[in-house]
A and B are shown apart, each in its own frame.
Chain A
Amino acid sequence: EAQVTQNPRYLITVTGKKLTVTCSQNMNHEYMSWYRQDPGLGLRQIYYSMNVEVTDKGDVPEGYKVSRKEKRNFPLILESPSPNQTSLYFCASRGDGYQPQHFGDGTRLSIL
């Protein structure tokens, strides 16, 4: 089954404690993205990747890092989380051309 898998699904943590949210896709897609979703603001892109070792900033990259060492994986790293990063996060992937994105089920992060 084609899918995008995120882990963990839920996380409550404290300010300053480094965390990583993993994302893996099994569709051999080139493009992968991270979004955050906040009430009234919709989905906003954090970072994206066009292929292995090729990443770039989206609309709201501050406080986040990513890496793309393998085609299937695209982890999101919060080196020093702060309360304003409390949000619902989605990973997405898509193939080449004008293909729609496939989304994971989301990770709800609470930073206290």
Chain B
Amino acid sequence: EDQVTQSPEALRLQEGESSSLNCSYTVSGLRGLFWYRQDPGKGPEFLFTLYSAGEEKEKERLKATLTKKESFLHITAPKPEDSATYLCAVLNSGGYQKVTFGTGTKLQVIP
């Protein structure tokens, strides 16, 4: 059974204080790892897809990296508008290509 574990559950940062969120996974044949951002009362919003170990993707203050067992979402010099819950999900290689989500990291950036 595929599993995704995210840590920490919650993270509080001062504006400008860089940090990283972790996503550890076990999956039967990884076809893709996704990062989403979710704001209160909204559906998850797609950020990145990573397909193979060593791959990196960047968007503004966010950078996602992937190894064979985990992914990191690095947040550089965060701003209050980066406050949200960040979700990690893996796509397996089965017939349906099932997506399994972690429970998320709730990030709060204090001005």
Chain A: interface secondary structure?
Answer: strand
List residues of B (62-111) whose CB comes within 8 Å of A's CBs.
87, 89, 91, 96-99, 101-104
Of A40, A48, A100, A104, most buried by chain B (CB within 10 Å of CB) is: A100
Is the C-beta of A81 less than 8 angstroms from some C-beta in chain B? no
Bound-complex Cα distance A49 to B3 (A) = 22
Q: Shortest distance in angstroms between A23's beta carbon and chain B's nearest beta carbon?
A: 11
Bound-complex Cα distance A48 to B100 (A) = 13
Bound-complex Cα distance A42 to B87 (A) = 9
Q: How many residues of B contact A (CB 8 A)?
A: 23
Bound-complex Cα distance A31 to B49 (A) = 17
Which of B43, B49, B51 touches A103 (beta carbons < 8 Å)?
B43
Bound-complex Cα distance A98 to B46 (A) = 13
Closest 5 CB pairs of A and B: A103-B43, A42-B103, A43-B101, A98-B32, A100-B46
Residue numbers of A with Cβ under 8 A of B are 4, 31, 33, 35, 40-45, 48, 50, 56, 90, 92, 98, 100-106
